[in-house]
Amino acid sequence: MSDNLATLNDGTKAITMGVKSGTIGPDVIDIRKLYAETGKFTYDPGFTSTASCDSALTYIDGDEGVLLHRGYPIGQLAEQSSFMEVCYLMLNGELPSADELSQFSRTITRHTMVHEQLSVFYRGFRRDAHPMAIMCGVVGALSAFYHDSTDISDPEQRKISAHRLIAKMPTIAAMAFKYSVGQPFVYPRNDLSYTGNFLRMTFAVPAEEYEVNPVVERALDRIFILHADHEQNASTSTVRLAGSSGANPFACIAAGIACLWGPAHGGANEAALNMLKEIGTPDRIPHYIARAKDKNDPFRLMGFGHRVYKNYDPRATVMQKTVREVFESLKVTDPLFETALRLEELALSDPYFIDKKLFPNVDFYSGIILSAIGFPTTMFTALFALARTVGWVAQWNEMISDPGQKIGRPRQLYTGPVQRDYVPVSER
């Protein structure tokens, strides 16, 4: 990285700080010595202007609507790659050869079963427990089963736990769905693809054979690719912060799942479809757009807007195209898709959304296609977590492998009372 300098005058003295450049994207001002030299912190709630780490995994240009994974554009990966290949790319940095890919797929496939005791956990939940509540609990519990891959100082154990997490998330998610509908768990099969296995574990019943629909398999695999990783988003930052204390990878991923659940983040796909269901028909869209613009109304267009994208989210483009392809192929329609298209059209012609650069994001269309495949809305964020696990473990591993890595410990601007003496209750 090339270095040049930035000077800051804090009113008492000028200090010089290094400016670092990455391969592409904004330079960063290295403020690590700021407090030692000025006694002042920077102030950046929500980290809108803060780079928390170096990373070579994913690059986003929010103004241009660019998303690269290890340099490859998301549109090319979604069209030409597979989720397994993208997992290999995120973990290893390069696209695999045919042999490398088949070996990697075989390794992942042979980790898809979960310890039989783990299935007992599910029985502790109410049948109507949200799948994300189950995912938080069960993934965190994996640390109790896989002690042989929790030594984070051992690269080999880090690799095994990464493979285990990628491999077992579909099984855990499918079991959460089966539990919620009162159907028996379906074991994984080694003769199916990663995504085909997940579809079968989710939708097969013992009473009949289950055939994986190749159109659905391809569409869902592409949806997993679109959700694989996304720079330092809230849940990835949560995983990194949890990992910076030395917590084991299963606990870190459970923390990421908890953060992803929020409706401002991964929970938006469930919220977006529920919003479209509430809107119902296109004639009701103006009322909801008015509500979204009303400062006194907490309602927001779910699936719209993004902290980084101030242009179209490239994932939403692929997602919309995939909806059309799947609907054509399966000869299905969904009036909510028409409502979503009309909502996008009206919002993107409204000065409020244009001025605030609010575009559809990855969550706006995903629910429509997941619903068409047969998933209930409560499973949407669990699918997001399933796909994002490779990003989380890749980011976690990148951090742990960094020799300069420290425990994350932000400071604050204190606004509470100055020091005062305790007053016994008899004198209050």
Question: Considering only CA atoms, which of 300, 254, 258 is closest in space to residue 278?
Answer: 300
Please give the single-letter amino acid code of residue 269: N
Question: Considering only CA atoms, which of 263, 301, 264 is closest in space to residue 279?
Answer: 301
Question: Closest distance between ligand SDX and the C-beta of residue 1, in Å?
Answer: 24
Active-site residue among 69, 227, 306, 313?
A: 306
Question: Closest distance between ligand SDX and the C-beta of residue 265, in Å?
Answer: 4
The residue (of 106 and 356) whose beta carbon lies closer to ligand SDX is 356
Helix runs in 142-233, H state only: 155-181, 194-203, 214-226
Hey, which residues does 28 pair with through a beta bridge?
Answer: 20
The residue (of 96 and 305) whose beta carbon lies closer to ligand SDX is 305
Give the angle subtended at the CA of 217 by the CAs of 207 and 110, to the nearest 5°.
75
Question: Closest distance between ligand SDX and the C-beta of residue 148, in Å?
Answer: 31
CB 212, CB 232: distance < 8 Å = no
What is the spatial distance between Cα 337 and Cα 60, in angstroms, rounded to a whole number?
27
Site string for ligand SDX, 32-71 (x = CB under 6 A): ----------------------------------------
Question: Considering only CA atoms, which of 406, 421, 425, 392 is closest in space to residue 57?
Answer: 392
With CB atoms as reference, the residue minimizing the distance to ligand SDX is: 305
Q: Rounded to 5 degrees, what are φ and ψ at 360?
A: -60, 140
Site string for ligand SDX, 281-320 (x = CB under 6 A): -----------x-------xxxxxxxxx------------
Active site residue 363: yes
The residue (of 143 and 235) whose beta carbon lies closer to ligand SDX is 235
What residues from 318 to 357 belong to the interface with ligand SDX (CB under 6 A)?
Answer: 356
Per-residue tokens: 105 = 């797929």
Number of residues binding to ligand SDX, judged by CB under 6 A: 21
Question: Closest distance between ligand SDX and the C-beta of residue 11, in Å?
Answer: 29
What is the spatial distance between Cα 231 and Cα 391, in angstroms, rounded to a whole number?
9
Sole residue written with tokens 């483009």:
317
Per-residue tokens: 283 = 């004639």
Question: Closest distance between ligand SDX and the C-beta of residue 20, in Å?
Answer: 22
Site string for ligand SDX, 236-275 (x = CB under 6 A): ----------------------------xxx-x-------
Question: Closest distance between ligand SDX and the C-beta of residue 131, in Å?
Answer: 18
What is the spatial distance between Cα 409 and Cα 94, in angstroms, rounded to a whole number?
33
The residue (of 221 and 313) whose beta carbon lies closer to ligand SDX is 313
The residue (of 5 and 290) whose beta carbon lies closer to ligand SDX is 290
What is the spatial distance between Cα 337 and Cα 246, in angstroms, rounded to a whole number?
45
Question: Residue 359 interacts with ligand SDX (CB under 6 A)?
Answer: no
Residues 6+ positions from 208 with CB-CB distance below 8 Å: none
Which burial class, exposed, middle or buried, applies to 126 when counting CB atoms under 10 A from its CB (0-12, 13-18, 19+)?
exposed
Q: Residues 363, 390, 394, 399: which binds ligand SDX (CB under 6 A)?
A: 363
Sole residue written with tokens 């964020």:
381
Quick one: DSSP state of residue 408? -
CB 377, CB 283: distance < 8 Å = no
The residue (of 262 and 282) whose beta carbon lies closer to ligand SDX is 262
CB atoms within 10 A of CB 218: 18
Q: Residues 362, 369, 390, 394: which binds ligand SDX (CB under 6 A)?
A: 362
Site string for ligand SDX, 206-235 (x = CB under 6 A): ------------------------x--x--
Site string for ligand SDX, 78-117 (x = CB under 6 A): ----------------------------------------
Please give the single-letter amino acid code of residue 32: R
Question: Closest distance between ligand SDX and the C-beta of residue 354, in Å?
Answer: 12
Q: Residues 171, 322, 361, 395: which binds ligand SDX (CB under 6 A)?
A: 361
Active site residue 163: no
Sole residue written with tokens 């997992």:
87
Per-residue tokens: 176 = 């959460």
The residue (of 175 and 323) whose beta carbon lies closer to ligand SDX is 323
Question: Closest distance between ligand SDX and the C-beta of residue 239, in Å?
Answer: 11
Give the angle subtended at the CA of 413 by the CAs of 406 and 11, to the nearest 5°.
100
Report the interface residues with ligand SDX, using CB under 6 A.
230, 233, 264-266, 268, 292, 300-308, 356, 358, 361-363
| Residues with catalytic roles | 306, 363
